[in-house]
Chain A
């Protein structure tokens, strides 16, 4: 089934690219999103079964793929608005749609991959697709961002490959090196601790570009600063989830050994450095998308810190990841509209958004309330659970330090939002140039309200998938 999906996706992408026709693009893209949703349903129906020897539909992969399917629907709509606002020719539009299809396919391949080399290949494919999407607006800063992202990610991925190779030394079976996650987990107890530690550190370092955390975060932050909003909605959600799943797979292997607490300490240190860097960087933030990128860094860092608390934090960490995907996707979609009003991503060029576009401003405000974990946001519930886990597991100093940093981050995000919503109208504002769509905030309201609802009343399907994922660690 999954190979069939890849085949159809590739054909659709090729048709869209070659024919460069808006009707073919619309039909092809819609068909792809429908197929992606179908793949999610199929994978859920066949939970825990293998699809070829390289792919498996386990609970975490199904959950991540479902999130991508959900986000692809509004991405389709917002990409269309992005074309109307920023893209001049049909060729650019079709190129964007074709690459987006390949990107979503590669992301699904990362989620479902049971073999860590195949996962590595898929991650490399996402890097290449993302590079072209970042550079879709062909001027200087996107080129700089695309180059930095491509180069740093490639170096990171090469480092991750070294980790995989070192893991291969510990995974020799009679048929040669077996790098399937289930086999690695089954032989984890017999592995040499030195090699396992080295492999874990190299893989975590290499994939940090995807996860948007220390050390390879810089290229990702720059890329998110200039990438088109629909691309950012995937970049800050599905791509982060891909990085998370890649590290989670190796963590499930190391979790079977006495090195578990060592790995948790590594995640704790990575998380603490990342959240500290995000806090420091927000002091001098001048662009909204960059602010959201550092906000993603903060949330992922918090997730890593929570995982370091062990079993008590797993559920909260995974639920936090899900909610973050909904909220960050919605925020980037809304920022597409903000940018359409002000023709700039700089904070200084914005103001009076509440007067100009009350519905959009309300969506933006709701998004900010959600992302800063102010009640009734679902993130408030998950963060409450996270800090409960941290305090109960004795991480008191860490929890207090993280709380302080999160308060600082919250202050900066809210103050910049107040500037957008209530500051005086910028002098260079041109009201005639605004292209607004009344339906645009709908997707954001749906995503934000979904998080509020799921925070108080998480659906059984979601909690079941998360609980089954936690069982992978036991």
Chain B
């Protein structure tokens, strides 16, 4: 079951590079959040109830509902429909992300560590690298925010891969911190759009000497 969810998660990662519609990005993030909920629920069912509640809250409520809802609001407020201006053609991006997935798969099997669950680790690492690549190839700050959220999802999957069960209070603090960071980034994105009348990162260059 978990393997199916992980494969689906990897498929969403590839689909991020196929898509150009902003609404698709939001849907994909919501799907990733739901998949993470399924993976976490299957993997962490044995841990303390409070810890489990926080983790499930983080995935299902925050990653699959609140953040996509918030992004959708941003999309409507800023009238975003399509992201046209990727610096790299879709075809090349697909090759690159596939190579990243295969590379991570091969690399992770050279790791000899009992603690790490390799089935998560492979996709987690590819997701983090994919998120960074997503930020690099896009020019607008909404896509940058999506890339940041992909990295966050990769980090969450990595936390499952290493099986590190953090104390309840620390998990809660991490959850709140990430949520607030995303909300603040969203608020600032709105302000950028209002002030500069665009969300293109190339317009944010007044501070250069």
Contact = CB atoms under 8 A, between A and B. Distances in A.
B160 to A, nearest CB: 10
Contact of A118 (B164, B170, B196): B170
A18 B113 CA distance: 52
Given A145-B207, A286-B209, A151 B184 contact: no
B49 interface: no
B155 interface: yes
A121 interface: yes
A145 B195 CA distance: 13
Contact of A128 (B145, B166, B181, B192): B181
Interface residues of A, dominant DSSP: helix
Contacts of A155: 132, 135, 148, 151
Nearest to B158: A165
**Number of contact residues on B: which range applies?**
35 or more
A155 B129 CA distance: 12
A70 B136 CA distance: 41
Contact of A162 (B155, B170, B207): B155
Interface in A140-191: 140-141, 143-148, 150-151, 154-155, 158-159, 161-162, 165-166, 168-170, 172, 176-177, 179
A125 interface: yes
B85 interface: no
B139 to A, nearest CB: 14
B152 interface: yes
B207 A225 contact: yes
Contact of B159 (A118, A121, A144, A165): A165
A114 interface: no
Interface stretch (B26-34, B69-77, B172-180): B172-180
Given A117-B170, A158-B148, A176 B164 contact: yes
B191 interface: yes
A225 B207 CA distance: 8
A150 B144 CA distance: 12
A192 B148 contact: no
B187 to A, nearest CB: 10
Which bucket holds chain A's interface residue count? 35 or more
B207 A144 contact: yes
Contact of A176 (B155, B165, B181, B189): B165
Contacts of B116: 169
B137 interface: no
Interface in B185-209: 185, 188-189, 191-192, 195-196, 204-207, 209
B162 interface: yes
A154 B184 CA distance: 11
A125 B111 CA distance: 34
B151 A147 contact: no
A165 B166 CA distance: 10
B207 A141 contact: yes
A226 interface: yes
B185 A148 contact: no
Interface string A187-220: 0000010110000000000000000000000000
Given A140-B196, A141-B206, A176-B164, A117 B174 contact: yes
Contacts of A108: none
Contact of A151 (B115, B148, B164, B205): B148
Given A124-B181, A154-B148, A115 B170 contact: yes
B173 A121 contact: yes
Given A131-B188, A148-B204, A287 B162 contact: no
B110 to A, nearest CB: 10
A147 B188 contact: yes
Nearest to B149: A158
Name the residue in B141, B159, B162 with the highest tally of chain A Cβ atoms < 10 Å from its Cβ: B162
A98 to B, nearest CB: 16
Contacts of B165: 176-177
Contacts of B152: 158
A285 B208 CA distance: 10
B174 to A, nearest CB: 6
Nearest to B192: A147
A144 B113 contact: no
Contacts of A165: 155, 158-159, 162, 164
Nearest to B175: A121
B128 interface: yes
Contacts of B206: 140-141, 144
A285 B209 contact: yes
Contacts of A284: 209
A168 B171 CA distance: 14
Interface in A106-142: 115, 117-118, 120-121, 124-125, 127-128, 131, 135, 140-141
Interface of B: 111, 113, 115-116, 128, 132, 135, 141, 144-145, 148, 151-152, 154-155, 158-159, 162-166, 170, 173-174, 177-178, 180-181, 184-185, 188-189, 191-192, 195-196, 204-207, 209
Given A117-B173, A144-B204, A177-B163, 5 more contacts: A131-B188, A143-B191, A162-B155, A177-B166, A192-B113
The 9 closest A-B pairs by CB, nearest first: A177-B164, A168-B164, A176-B165, A121-B173, A169-B162, A124-B177, A169-B115, A222-B207, A144-B204
30 contacts: A115-B170, A117-B166, A118-B173, A124-B178, A140-B196, A140-B206, A141-B206, A141-B207, A144-B206, A144-B207, A145-B207, A147-B141, A148-B204, A154-B181, A154-B185, A158-B151, A158-B152, A161-B155, A162-B155, A162-B158, A166-B158, A166-B162, A168-B164, A169-B113, A169-B115, A177-B163, A192-B113, A194-B111, A226-B207, A285-B209
